[in-house]
Every structure is written in structure tokens, then in C-alpha cells.
Amino acid sequence: MARMEVDGKFLDFPEITGSENEKAIDISKLRSESGYITLDDSFGNTGSCRSAITYIDGANGVLRYRGYSIEELAEKSSFIETAYLVIYGHLPNREEYDRFSDLLTAHEMLDEDYRKHYEGFPRKAHPMAILSAMINTLGCYDPEHFLDEDVSHFDINAARLISQVRTVAAAAYRMSVGQPMMYPSPDRLYANNFLHMMFSQPYKLFEATPEVTQALNKFWILHADHEQNCSTSTVRLVASSGANMYASCAAGVCALWGKLHGGANQAVVEMLLKIQESGISVKDFVDKVKRKEPGLKLMGFGHRVYKNFDPRSKILQKALQKMLKASGQTDPLLDIAQELEECALRDEYFIERKLYPNVDFYSGLILRNIGIPLNMFTVMFAIGRMPGWIAHWKEISENPKQRIYRPRQIYTGENLRSYIPLDER
């Protein structure tokens, strides 16, 4: 029990303990009992829900999906199996896995009419804009089955989104470079199929190396969920109004786009390229960041929750090194990134603020080495995050006690004033 004194009156609030011993104070009765609300700009101290999907211990750099450590999943699982785990709460048995995989294959194609939608976008449209519009559009095809709230359609809708987000993304890229769309190939596994749709030509099929598909699988596994981050909170908020899965996930794509969130993977590589092209030393660049020059941050560093290494960044750094070793290549941008990391981790500014590399610090370099163009990086994040968004949509939609998300505010505007007619102002 937590006790608060407000205007001379004592109020008692229940304490909540999560399954990993996380503590919270349930203040849901605060306003009705005192007239006060809590103010927590940017939600740094606010638990917006109870959720059984993902656990993060930011102080110790721990991340688990449904109780499984991210390190073990990245090593042993595939993206599709992890997607099933995140959405349904357990690792699939063989029958469940085959059924899920077959559903993904059955729903990987887009309706041919989709071409018309793509033709409506300017050639230079950002693929994240196309992605969010197209995900919403998916819900318009066969709305009778896909837009309703009947949970029996959940499996198909989920499979359709996971499978088609990949088809939509690859098609957006092909259109942007004026190349014919490639149909998905039912014989290829998820990551390989995506790379085929991105890079095959009608006259020459693309074959990725196992190291490349492994790295891509890892990248997507590590992005599958991350509890109440900005885009997932957006999905939950939209879902809480009763909006369908497509609309909710399309909103998630928009939230992800920003450079403080999913857009950071693109921003990191842009930063590394700028350092390389300008010839500035890593130390001088870090000094500029520390001086807080306008618009300058060490992209890929810092996190609202992790005050230690983001476990995903370590796994991705190793995956990148392995991929480069297998292909016998080096990447000068990796050298710059590693030098930046070393420099920042020794520096008082970063130590004091507990700023460590986050998931985006090395992920962009993996994508770049796979051959993914820069403006597709955040789209790649969105493909990976889709199972998480769907799982959170499900959690909201299946909660019989769910109320619409509706935060309050402290109003700081004008007090009541009288309307003055236009000519008298």
C-alpha cells in the first residue's frame, strides 16, 4: 500500500508487482478521490498497461520475449517462429508452426489492383509513407473478412499482415527504382523471399548467402517487440478505440518513422557517412555532440529504458562481424562506429548520462552490407516490429476490461475571453 497526502487528506493506493518483481503504484482512483491527476511529460514514470509480452530490465540490459532471452532466440530461433511466440505466447509445436507458415505463404501475394495504388505515388516518395498507406489499404481488400472484430479472423489477419508487409515493402522499393515488381516465391523462406522480391530480376534470380539470411533473421528477431515503445504505444492507443488491426499497425508505422525511434537506423549510417566524407576525427565529432551543437546527437546512442548496453546492439555487432568475415569484406563505416563507441564509452558526458549503444547503432550497417538502400532501413524495422504490434493489438482487443486510452492534461492556455467581431480586432 502506498500512502499520499493531498490537501490534508490521506489516500491509500494499492501496490502492483509484476512477475519479474517490477513495482508500481496503482493510481487509477487518484482523480476520483482527490480531484488531482498525475503529470508525467513523455511518460517516463507511467505504466500505461499490464502486458505479458516482453520484459525489459533496463538497468541490467535484459530483454525477453514471453520469458525467453533475446540472446537465445537470436541464436536458435527463426523470425517466423519468434513472431508466433510473440503473438500467441508460446513456441509453436511442429503442427502449429506448419499451419502458421502455410498461412503466411497463402497470404503473401498482393491483389493485382495494388499496382494502381503504387502508381499513385511519386517516384521519390519515402517508402515509409508508402508502407503506412499500403498497410491501411490492405484492410480495404475483402473488408467483409478482414475489417471486422471477429476474433476467428485474427489468425488470417495476423498472417496476412506479417506476410504482406514484406511484399508491400519490396514492391515499394521496386517501384521507386522503376523496376518490375517480383512476385513472392512460395519455395523460399521468409527472409530469403524478401531478398528475392527486392533484388531478383526477371532474367536473373537473386540468391542470398546463408550468412546474409541469418543476419537478416537475427535483425528481425531482435526487432520483433520492445514493450511500450513509441510505435507500440501508438498501436495500443489506436487499438483501444476499437480500430482494426490494419489501421492500428499503419499508425505504428508513422510513429516508427521518426529519427528518435525507428528512423535512427538510417540516421546512424548518415552520421557515419558524414564523418567519413568530412574527414573529421571521431574525437572532434564527439566533442561537437557534447557541446550540443544544434541538431547534433550521437545517433544510435541512448535509450529511455536501457541505462546499460542494449543487448540487441551487442548481438547485431557480432552478426555484422560474422557476415563480413564470411564474405571476406571489410567495412570502413564499422571501423568508425567502433571507434565512436569506444570514445563515447570512455567519456564522462556519456558515462554520467548512462548513454550506451542502442539497437540502431549497428543494425543500419548490417542492412547496408546486405545491400538494402538507406531509405528502406526503417521499413526493415517495421517488418520486424509487425509481430509485436499485432501481439499488442491482440492483448488490447482481448481484454474485456479495456477502456479507450484517454490521457488527461494540465491546461496552460487562455482563460475565458469574449469573442470580438473581425472588424473590431
Q: Closer to ligand CMC at the Cβ: 105 or 266?
A: 266
From the list 51-59, 114-122, 211-219, 353-361, the region that binds ligand CMC by CB under 6 A is 353-361
Least distance between ligand CMC and beta carbon 253 (Å): 13
Q: Closer to ligand CMC at the Cβ: 175 or 367?
A: 367
Least distance between ligand CMC and beta carbon 138 (Å): 23
Among residues 64, 303, 368, 392, which is the contact residue for ligand CMC, using CB under 6 A?
303
Q: Closer to ligand CMC at the Cβ: 184 or 300?
A: 300
Pairing of strands 62-65, 68-69: antiparallel
CB 252 within 8 A of CB 388: no
CA angle 320-97-151, nearest 5°?
110
CA angle 329-332-335, nearest 5°?
110
Which residues from 106-165 bind ligand CMC, rule CB under 6 A? none
DSSP 180: P
From the list 75-83, 106-114, 292-300, 329-337, the region that binds ligand CMC by CB under 6 A is 292-300
CA angle 174-177-180, nearest 5°?
45
* Cross-strand partners of 57: 62
Q: Of the candidates 351, 345, 383, which has an alpha carbon nearest to the alpha carbon of residue 367?
A: 383
Least distance between ligand CMC and beta carbon 425 (Å): 40
Say how far residue 140 (Cα) sits from the centre of its chain: 24
Q: What are phi and psi of 239, to 5 degrees?
A: -60, -30
Among residues 79, 199, 301, 356, which is the contact residue for ligand CMC, using CB under 6 A?
301
Which residues from 245-284 bind ligand CMC, rule CB under 6 A? 260-262, 264
Q: Closer to ligand CMC at the Cβ: 79 or 100?
A: 79
Least distance between ligand CMC and beta carbon 128 (Å): 13
CB 312 within 8 A of CB 222: yes
Among residues 247, 289, 340, 372, which is the contact residue for ligand CMC, using CB under 6 A?
289
Q: Is 353 in the site for ligand CMC (CB under 6 A)?
A: yes
Among residues 61, 139, 252, 300, which is the contact residue for ligand CMC, using CB under 6 A?
300
CB 331 within 8 A of CB 319: no
CB 219 within 8 A of CB 367: yes
Single-letter residue type at 251? A
Q: Of the candidates 61, 153, 149, 176, which has an alpha carbon nearest to the alpha carbon of residue 107?
A: 153
Least distance between ligand CMC and beta carbon 65 (Å): 16
* Cross-strand partners of 10: 5
Q: Closer to ligand CMC at the Cβ: 110 or 386?
A: 386
From the list 19-27, 147-155, 319-327, 352-360, the region that binds ligand CMC by CB under 6 A is 352-360
Distances in Å between the alpha carbon of 172 and those of 17, 106, 118?
A: 45, 21, 7
Which positions are catalytic?
303, 360
Report how many residues bind ligand CMC under the rule CB under 6 A: 19
Least distance between ligand CMC and beta carbon 288 (Å): 10
Contacts of 228 (CB under 8 A, 6+ apart): 47, 48, 49, 51, 236
Q: Closer to ligand CMC at the Cβ: 139 or 357?
A: 357
User: CA-CA distance, 104 to 128, in Å (whole number)?
Assistant: 22
Q: Is 302 in the site for ligand CMC (CB under 6 A)?
A: yes
Q: Closer to ligand CMC at the Cβ: 147 or 336?
A: 336
Here's the x/- map for ligand CMC, 223-242, by CB under 6 A: it reads as: ------x-------------
Among residues 70, 212, 247, 298, which is the contact residue for ligand CMC, using CB under 6 A?
298
Q: Closer to ligand CMC at the Cβ: 108 or 360?
A: 360
User: CA-CA distance, 241 to 402, in Å (whole number)?
Assistant: 10
Which residues from 357-376 bind ligand CMC, rule CB under 6 A? 358-360
Q: Is 307 in the site for ligand CMC (CB under 6 A)?
A: no
Q: What SS3 class is residue 305?
A: coil
Least distance between ligand CMC and beta carbon 417 (Å): 35
Least distance between ligand CMC and beta carbon 355 (Å): 5
User: CA-CA distance, 381 to 346, in Å (whole number)?
Assistant: 29
User: CA-CA distance, 320 to 364, in Å (whole number)?
Assistant: 10
The count of residues in the chain is 425
- Under the rule (CB under 6 A), what is the footprint of ligand CMC? 229, 260-262, 264, 289, 297-304, 353, 355, 358-360
